[in-house]
Each structure stands twice: as structure tokens, then as C-alpha cells.
Structure 1
């Protein structure tokens, strides 16, 4: 079967790998002039690391295996700890935190991609795409994996369904030595000012991010020349290693949070969607890349029945999408200290299975 994939992000590249492994003819077209490596890093839960193994995408040598996910108060007191090794034992695959650029590089290995090819006009009923600058491509199946501003989804659904949630993320890496950089602990520190997250990403890097609510009059502090100063003022006095992170800030990346309702049917005729094109959600539950990989695994095995793929994925992906839309991790300081560690671990291990078609099928 000939499959045309629009978009060479995590969803598009992973899908292409799965289809190529299954013997299909795949063409990937990407608007960007080169591989899309923007963004910090992503946490891959056991379902995703299992899928990557199935896709023959080797993470060896990149990223950092995680053993705990911890929530602290603003003064550094532990609120609860999730033992991620429990999920690793249960599902026989680890949780790994990896730079997005490294994940894209691993997925792109051996996948044919045409860069600088923007989808200008899409005809879903014919699985046909006219590219900017001339040329038309068509296949037996067309998959829009071109992100939140998807041209393929626009042809299918019309207007962009995503809405701003009222939260934004500022993030980046620090290579300055900290107490967490060489450990295997993910830490979230929620408070009235927002949330600070810290996760080691391997190779001496620590991902940091600050989630803050929109400010009246300056909805997202975007293009604010004082953003570093603002973040330092807002999170001053927070526990180690936040002061060292704040000191190292330099031109952080900015991501407004979007969300939208996930419909039952994503496509039409020989055309469907994958990744953020189908289910944009805030990064709150670290599910964006994971759900993209779930799409790739499910669709590569159901390429002959697109509506079945959409129905199966909708039932599952709505769960993390709805939870992420509540921005639950950003407001957890109101209840986090009430959850015993053992209960938090059991609940999270079970929740990971409920958010994964792969784990629901094989575990």
C-alpha cells in the first residue's frame, strides 16, 4: 500500500517506520527545511518505550531512565513519590526521559523524508495533496501528522478546534551542575506562583520548565524582554536546585497550552490523522509524544481500516486529553500531600495502562 504522510514530527516518523517495517511504500513530506528538533525533552512511559522497541528505534545511549516521580512543596518538603520502577516491572519496559531532538533523530533513521514541502491544498477524498511550489502527491492512504496547525485536519474539520487553556510553559536545559542532573528522579514543585518541573535528560543536561497562568493585559508574557527577570522574581526562594536553574536561565522557549475535544471520527475516506493534528493537549501529563507513538503503533497495524483505528484510539486518547486539559499537575499543591506514596504508585501504574492502547492490548 502506498501511504503519504504529511509531517515529520514524532507521529509522522514513527508511523513511517512502522509502515516501512510492514512492507508498505511510504512517502513523508515536511514543511520545515530540516528535521524538526525544537522543544526540550519528553518523558516516554513504558508503553512508548515498548512501541519504540517494536519500531526498531534504538534509544541506547540517549536519554535517562527514571526511577521516581516526586512532588515537593514550595519549601522543599516531599508531598508524594511515585515509584516508576513498579510500572517498569509491571509492563517490562522502563520510563525514559530523552531530548526531543534525539528522539526525532532515532525515529528518522532510515525514513525517507522530503523537507521544505508545505501542504498547500488537500483533497481528503482522494488522499491527494498539492505542495507549495508545484507538484501533487497522492497515495492509497493519506495521514496528516502535521501538528496543531495541521493543513490536513483543516481540510477535514475546517477551523482549528484548539483553544488556549490559560497556562503557558517556559522551558529549557541547563548544563550547570545541580543535585538532580545525574539522578533518576523527576521532580515537580507546585505552588501558588505556578509549577517548576525538573527532569534529568542525560549527557549532563537537566530539563527545567516553569508553568504559569496567563497575566492580565499580557496574556502569555510573549516577547517580554524581561521574561528571565520575571521568572526569577516569581520563583525566588524555591528549594534547591531551583535557584541554580534560575541563575542559568537564558532565552527560554515559550509554549502556550492548547486543548480541544477529541471527536470519534478523525478522517474521511482514505485520509486520517495522527498526533497533535488529532488530539492537541497541554503538556501537563507528559502525554503528547506518548500518544503520538500510540497512534503510530495502532495505525501501522490498522492501515487498511482507518475508521477502526480512529475509534480504538479515541476511546483511549480522550482519557489523557481530558485530564491534561484540567492542568491537574499545576494545581496539585491543594491535594498532593494527602496521597500516600504506595497509593500514588498503584494509581499511576494503573493509569498508564488506561492511557495506552498498546498496554491495554499486550499487558
Structure 2
């Protein structure tokens, strides 16, 4: 089949690789004049690592393999650790990693022909046809909207954009300051129940730090406030290291409001479907957005002849994931994170990751339980 994909981000590039490997003739159309590499970094859980490996994406030397997720109190006491080495062994050697979005899309784009600078004027979902602003058209047997939260393909299918801010925002930036988290496999998270601070290594001597907090349009932490860094320092500068150090040196930070919406059971119509944020915009809490986009690509590459079946299969999982992330659980948990033994937290993480992934639910993905307990 001839497949047209709108959107050259993570979802679109991954789908192009998977569908091409499945024997389809694929073209990707991107409105931007070149590869979009903006953004911070993303966490790839074991399922995402496995799917990227299956799609022949070379991740050698990319990002940083994660070995532990540590939760700390605002007073500087370690509350608990999720052992990602155990998680990796339970999923047959598939590891978790943290990687700059720029590096991920560059690796995904290798060998994928993308038509850049193609802005869309109209979409005919019933004919899988695109009309571009220069008057040219493209028509396929299948049309995939992978064009993000403000998807033009989804607008042609659903009408109004269903995503809405959920009252939370992220402020984030990279740091190259040497800290105990920059060049290790450790990730740190602190929550007081009203805000979350986290830092994770992204490889190549970089780490991403970020804060998730409540904010509304027009408030002190929304948008381009000129004194934003001073406000972040005032609110979080007393938290444990490395936050005082990175905030003291940071000149600016990137702003990302959190959006979400109810995921419908059917996403498309006729020969047209959606994937990634176009189908299921979700909060970055729990780091699930990129992984769910890759799951979309994996399922779609195996069932391109049954689009409604693809949508129903993905809805069963992604609706639950979107609902969980929308609760902003990591930001709300606060000191409660220290009430669970490390072994229990690690087993719960294994269970959650499996429930959030059709890829991991396939027979043989989950290895037999380990005899060695996780130390507290």
C-alpha cells in the first residue's frame, strides 16, 4: 500500500520505519523546513527500547541507560529507589534510557525520506488525500496523522481540538554542570505534594532538570515571565542538590503546559487514522508520551490493513495510560513515596510498565521472577 504520513516527529518517523519494513511504500510530509529537533529529553522505557531495536534504530552511544530512580525528601533524605537493573532483567535485557529529543529524532530520521516544507491546506480523510498550500496534492491508500497536539488531520476527522490544559506546567532546561547525576545512571525526583523536581542524565555530559507545578494562564509561572528564573530559585533553591547549583547557573528554562483529553475508542475514518499526540495528547507525568507513540507505530506496522482494529487495540491501553498521567501522580505523591519498600516499588514499576505496553504483553517479553530481592 501507499502510505502518506503527516508529521515528521517521533511518531511519524517511527511509523515510517515500521511500515516500510512491513513492505509498504511510505512518504512523510512535514510542515517545518527541516527536521524538528527542539525540546528537552525523553525517557524510553523497556518497551520503547525494544520497539526501536525492532525498527533498526541505532541507539549505540545515544543518551544514557538508567539504572535507578531515586525519590528524595525536600530535606535531603533518600526515601526510596526503583532498581531499573531488576526491571531490565525482568524484560529480557530491554533497558530504560534517558535521551535528548534531538538525538532521538536524528537517529529515527536516518534513512527515512521526508518531504520538508509541505504545509497543508486541506485533508480529505475519506480519500486519503492531502492538498498542500502550493496547490499540489498527494493521495494514498492509507493516510496517517502523526502531526501532534494541533493535528490538521485530526481536525478533518474530529473537528475541534479536544485537548485542554490540566492546570500543570513544566519548566525545564539542560545542564552540563558536573553533578553526581550528570554522568551516572541515577535519576532523582523530589515532590512535596504540590510540585515535583527531577533531574536525569541525558548522556554526553548533560542532564535535564525540570519542575512540574500548578499554574494557570496569567499566573507567575505561566509563559514568558521576565523574572522567571528568580521565581524558580525562590521556590526551589532550598531543595537538595543539585537543584540550588543548576538553578544558580541557569539563565533560562523552557515552558511546557500539560494537556490532556479523553481518548475515544475510534480515532479515524475510512483509510485515515491517527497516532501519537494527534490521537492521545497526554501529560508528561510518568514519561509515557513517547513510548505510547512508539507503541502506536509498532501496532500500526503490523495491522495497516485493519485501521479500526489498530485503533481499538491501542485504545484499550492508551486510554488507561492517559488517565493515569492526567492525575499527575509523581507530582502529588510527596512524602508518601517513602512508605513503600524498594522491592515493592520495583515490582510495581514492572507491573505498570507491562500494563502500559502491548509490546511487553506479548508472550515471552516478561522473564520469570528473580530470586534475588531488591535491597532497601
Q: TM-score range by the shorter chain?
A: over 0.9
Give 1:31's aligned residue.
Answer: 31
How far apart are 1:258 and its partner, in Å? 0.1
Encode CA deviations 1:137-182: one digit per residue, 9 max, x unaligned. 1100000000000000011111010111101001110001112111
Give 2:41's aligned residue.
Answer: 41
Report if the CA contact (8 A) 1:33-1:115 is conserved.
Answer: yes
Correspondence 1:208-223 to 2 at 5 A: 208-214=209-215, 217-218=218-219, 220-223=221-224
How far apart are 1:244 and its partner, in Å? 1.1
Q: Secondary structure of 2:298's partner?
A: helix
Give 2:195's aligned residue.
Answer: 194
Report if the CA contact (8 A) 1:193-1:234 is conserved.
Answer: no
**Partners of 1:278 and 1:190 in 2: CA distance:** 30
Report if the CA contact (8 A) 2:260-2:281 is conserved.
Answer: yes
Runs of 4+ in 1 over 4 A off after TM superposition: none
How far apart are 1:215 and its partner, in Å? 5.1
Give 2:114's aligned residue.
Answer: 113
**Partners of 1:89 and 1:342 in 2: CA distance:** 14
Note closer, same or farther for the CA distance 1:216–1:116 as it changes in structure 2 (3 Å cut): closer
**Partners of 1:218 and 1:121 in 2: CA distance:** 37
Give 2:59's aligned residue.
Answer: 59
Encode CA deviations 1:57-90: one digit per residue, 9 max, x unaligned. 0100111000111111111112221111111101
Correspondence 1:303-322 to 2 at 5 A: 303-322=304-323
Give 1:4's aligned residue.
Answer: 4
**Partners of 1:220 and 1:280 in 2: CA distance:** 22
Report if the CA contact (8 A) 2:45-2:95 is conserved.
Answer: yes
Q: Does 1:340 align with 2:341?
A: yes
Unaligned runs of 5+ in 2: 366-376
Encode CA deviations 1:98-145: one digit per residue, 9 max, x unaligned. 110010011100101011112221110000111122211110000000
Q: Does 1:350 align with 2:351?
A: yes
Give 1:181's aligned residue.
Answer: 182
Q: Secondary structure of 1:310's partner?
A: helix
Give 2:264's aligned residue.
Answer: 263
Report if the CA contact (8 A) 1:220-1:256 is conserved.
Answer: no
Give 1:302's aligned residue.
Answer: 303
Correspondence 1:122-271 to 2 at 5 A: 122-191=123-192, 194-214=195-215, 217-218=218-219, 220-271=221-272
Greater alpha carbon shift after TM alignment, 189-198 vs 149-158: 189-198
Give 1:272's aligned residue.
Answer: 273
How far apart are 1:192 and its partner, in Å? 5.1
Note closer, same or farther for the CA distance 1:279–1:216 as it changes in structure 2 (3 Å cut): closer
**Partners of 2:45 and 2:134 in 1: CA distance:** 40
Q: Does 1:19 align with 2:7?
A: no
**Partners of 1:347 and 1:305 in 2: CA distance:** 34
Encode CA deviations 1:31-76: one digit per residue, 9 max, x unaligned. 1111111111111000010000100001001110001111111111
Instruction: Supply the RMSD in Å over aligned alpha carbons.
Output: 1.2
Note closer, same or farther for the CA distance 1:101–1:217 as it changes in structure 2 (3 Å cut): closer
Q: Secondary structure of 2:285's partner?
A: helix
